[in-house]
Amino acid sequence: MAQSNQSANNNDIDTAKASKPAKRTRSTRTAKPTRTAVSPVFKARLESHREELERLFMSLYNDSAAFDSLLEAMSTAYAERPTDLKRLDKAREADPEWYKRGDMFGMTMYTDLFAGDLKKLADKIPYLKEQKLTYLHLMPLLQMPHPNNDGGYAVEDFDNVDPSLGTNEDLANLTKKLRRAGISLCLDFVMNHTASSHRWAKAAIAGDPEYQDYYFCYDDRTIPDQYDAVVPQVFPGSAPGNFTWNEEMHKWVMTQFYPFQWDLNYRNPKVLVAMMSSVMHLANLGVEVFRIDAVPYIWKELGTNCRNLPTVHTIVRILRIILECVCPAVVLKGEVVMAPKELAAYFGTPEAPECHMLYNVSIMVNLWSALASRDVRLLKTQIDKLNALPENCWFVNYLRCHDDIGWGLDEDVEREIGIDPLKHKEFLYHFYEGAVLGSWSMGELYNYDAATRDARSCGTTASLCGIERAIITHDKPLLETSVKRDLLMHQTMAFLRGFPMLNCGDEIGQLNGWDYKEDPDRVADSRNLHRSKFDWDKAALRKKAGTLQHELWEGMAGLREERHDPCFAPDAWVSTWDTFNDAVLAVVRKVEGETLVGLFNFSENPQHAHLNTSDDIINDPVDADLEPYEARFIHL
């Protein structure tokens, strides 16, 4: 990708002038890159990585000219990096595990639903500071088609903010204000595909063979059928197949997600260089964390299932090296919805790291399973598997986000403990839609497949925990119990290895937004049930004692207070412990001289927990009687 025509800054960090972020346009993409003098800082970083970077790049492409283009893009991006961000780079190089500190506390939200646009969001920073946030993940905000954009994951311009949300300058101003407030901004970077309205796709549709090679385009079904024979479908119900026929182009194009999302061809070095250039451009606008979306899918190999291929890790490692050379303040968060055995590879090794952290999808699913079944055995086993991963593996823990709950439990473990995987999955998704006797939940199904009997679940934390049903039925005892469930789930999530992230609205018990059914542009996607506008009137009640909002707000403050304990240090030893009670989870945290035990009762009934001793960890037996849905923390 051609670089911005913004004037290059050739000086080092101490003398560089802050540059104003430029909005990239088509003309800037095609302009010839300006050669820049190499900064000593950039040169030193590059030299320490160049041999590996070149070896990895050439293993994919064997194209020296393309590699030179990548180096030029990196040099230009460093030259354009603003002074304050270079200072941040220097600070983060001295504190590389900054994102592992116990005081890390995150939130995820949609810009438009929370505030309207980026300028208005900047005005809401005091609300974020009130929660002592250190991490803010904004859902996709780059230019997208409307209305079919898969919640922003169909991107038609990776260099510019969507006009409905603001400008690149608004984004840069927001990130600067967030940094002053101690908050790092995370944005999604959608690596696997573009929108079908992206300029590359438009050129391909117009018949340009160069841009058709940016995607997977075929004249007939011969090769698509070979892929389809072994590649699983992502959305078999709502978007069956992995290819879509484009009538204008008269070709089949690979679309693993939705027909309006065209898979990128990373076998083409131009694609990689262009996408890396966009990442660096966004980093220079002040983005500090990139959630790389659908990363296991990005490399396609005929005859394979096109998931988790070794070349995927080559590309992620290349991206990590680029960031460490150009903008080492930036970290990578991978979205890897895979079994625990697949996860370690996405962290790389201490010698050749890839992602800094991953979304903890499996624990999220197991938490909801444990709550419905009052049985923590699957959850405990999953925590044990993740805790057994190498020390460089770090997670962002959460209960709800923009997406559905996909019931991807460990079926082998289910069978070992006498659970029928399919029946348990059906129980869970029917339970959380309120269709099981005794259910307190009010959610909806997503992507139900009658043939496989598979489905996912939607809803806010509060509504899934019973708060909405209690309010509708004026059931005060149910409301009290439901609030305890809600807080138990958050307390458990925040106690695990990694750092916690709230879904915006969880802090005030925001309920489902059923009005999405009245919007023709949103009604087809039940995930919109938990994608509703933030209720600022309800948020105002957070300071009024006796309200639901105040109780949950204070509960979240308790989570932050809990995590100031020394046992939440990045190097803390973390393990589950047997409680001799399937309804109670025990997690032990230990640092030198300090041991903290967390006990979590996932039942509506009182429970007893017993923890045996172990040398140097638990010296005396622990016995505790827990109230329904109680979380208790014990210093030993």
Catalytic residue ranges? 293, 335
Asked if omega into 310 is within 30° of 0 (cis), the reply is: no
For residues 270 and 279, what is the distance between their CA atoms, to the nearest angstrom?
Answer: 14
Looking at 115-221, list the stretches that DSSP marks H as alpha helix, in order from N- to C-terminal side: 118-123, 125-130, 168-180, 199-205, 209-212
Structure token digits, residue 412: 């082998």
Q: Decide: 149 and 141 in contact? Cβ < 8 Å.
A: no
C-alpha dihedral sign at 129, 135, 139, 140: positive
Phi (first) and psi of residue 99, to 5 degrees: -80, 0
Closest CA to 198 of 268, 149, 141: 149
Question: Quick count: other Cβ atoms within 10 Å of Cβ 341?
Answer: 10
Picking from 275, 283, 401, the residue whose alpha carbon sits closest to that of residue 337 is 401
Tokens at residue 546, please?
Answer: 């006796």
Q: Which tokens hold the place of 15?
A: 């003398």
Among candidate residues 160, 315, 300, the one with its CA nearest the CA of residue 218: 300
Nearest to 175 by CA among 258, 81, 274: 81
- Residue 133 phi/psi, 5° resolution? -70, 145
- Taking the C-alpha atoms of residue 408 and residue 33, their distance in angstroms, rounded to an integer, is 47
Identity of the amino acid at 332: L
Q: 160: closest CA among 312, 53, 286, 24?
A: 24
Give which of 391, 288, 293 is closest to 348, Cα–Cα.
391
Best CA proximity match to 212, nearest among 257, 250, 159: 250
